Structure 1
Amino acid sequence: MRNLIFIITMCCTVGMFQSCSDDDFPVPPASTVPEFTFVIDNDEFAPATVTFTNNSIVPTHVGAATYYWNFGDGESTSEENPTHLYTEPGAYSVNLVVTTSESLEINEVTKTIVIKDPNATGVPIYFIDGVQVYQGLINTQAPIFTPLNGVVAQSSYGMVIDNVNGKLYISDYGADKIYRSNLDGSNFEDFRVGVDGPNGMTIDYQENQIYWDTSSGIQRGDIDDSDVNQVEDFVTGQANDPDGLSIDLVNRTLYWINYNGGVWVKNLDGTGESELIPAIEGGSMLVVGNRIFYDEYVASGDIRLKSADLDGTNITTIAVNIGRVVYGIGYDANEDKIYWGDRNTDVMMRANLDGSSPEVWFTHTGDTRGIVIGELE
Structure 2
Amino acid sequence: MLIVHPTSDWADWQSWIEHAITAPGVSYWPEVSGDGRAGYTLSASTGYWGPLVPPHVPEFEYQWYRGGDPIPRATRSTYIPTSADVGEEVWVAVFSPGVALEKSSYGVVVEPPGPVVLTDVSDNPSSRYYSEFAEEITWFADQGITTGYSNGDGTSQYRPFGKVTRDAMAAFLYRYAGEPPVTLPAESAFVDVTPASSDFYDEIAWLAEQGITRGWDTYAGVEYRPFQAITRDAMAAFLFRFAGSPNVVPPATSPFEDVDRISTEFYEEITWLAETGITTGWDTSTGKEFRPYDPITRDAMAAFIYRYDEVFGEPESEPQAGSTSELSVAELPKPGVRSTPADSSVAPSTSGPFVSCVDASGCSAPELELVKPAGQ
Instruction: Tell me the TM-score normalised to structure 2 length.
Output: 0.33
Please identify which structure carries the higher strand content.
1
Please identify which structure carries the higher helix content.
2
